[in-house]
Amino acid sequence: GTGIEAAVLRFKAGVEALSACLETVLPAAAAAQRNARIAALTAQAVSAEVATRIASLPILAQAPDIVQISERTGSSIADAALVHFAIDADFGLSELLTAAQGVPALDDYERMARDQAIEMINDAHRGLAIEAIGAGGVEKWMALRATETGQAKSTLAAIIASGLSLPKLMVAAGMLADL
């Protein structure tokens, strides 16, 4: 129906805009990972264009969140993406979410808890990006909230380093939601 068509059009433009600015919005580590994936694919005789598209897919999967950040703040896709990726890098959110996908869930309730924690992390990520844009950028926002963000970053790093479990994932999600 028209609701789905409107959503597709809304996010299609955001994906295209994000795709066009990836070279300039990714933090160094994420850009290096993407470039390494492109190099690995082209070494296997994949065309540069196809390799770039494949290597960009995990990043472009974040476009709906970036579109929502852009819409909520009135900022461009590029500016929203810069802040989104900076917060991801500063807090290790991609690493946390990747680890979260691998947390064992022994029954339906544990799966529901894991999925809810992942959704809480994604919601918190969007909220933090919106707040940072409102504060004038990630650096200004971090300076304004230095104590809380510093504690959260060190706790998240410790949780990830110690091996993620469902209780630790719930603690991480709750802490991010409370920021």
pLDDT tens digit string along 17-52? 999 999 999 999 999 999 999 999 999 999 999 999
Q: Which pLDDT score, from 0 to 100, does residue 10 have? A: 85
Q: Which amino acid type is present at position 83?
A: V
pTM over 0.75: yes
Start-end of H helices in 61-165: 63-73, 77-91, 93-101, 108-134, 138-144, 146-161
- Whether 129 and 87 have beta carbons less than 8 Å apart is answered as yes
Q: Which pLDDT score, from 0 to 100, does residue 3 have? A: 84
Per-residue pLDDT of the chain (179 residues; tens, 9 = 90+): 578 888 888 899 999 999 999 999 999 999 999 999 999 999 999 999 999 999 999 999 999 999 999 999 999 999 999 999 999 999 999 999 999 999 999 999 999 999 999 999 999 999 999 999 999 999 999 999 999 999 999 999 999 999 999 999 999 999 999 99
How far apart are alpha carbons 144 and 114 in whole angstroms?
31
Q: Which pLDDT score, from 0 to 100, does residue 1 have? A: 58
Q: Which pLDDT score, from 0 to 100, does residue 2 have? A: 76
Q: Which two tokens stand for residue 8?
A: 């597709």
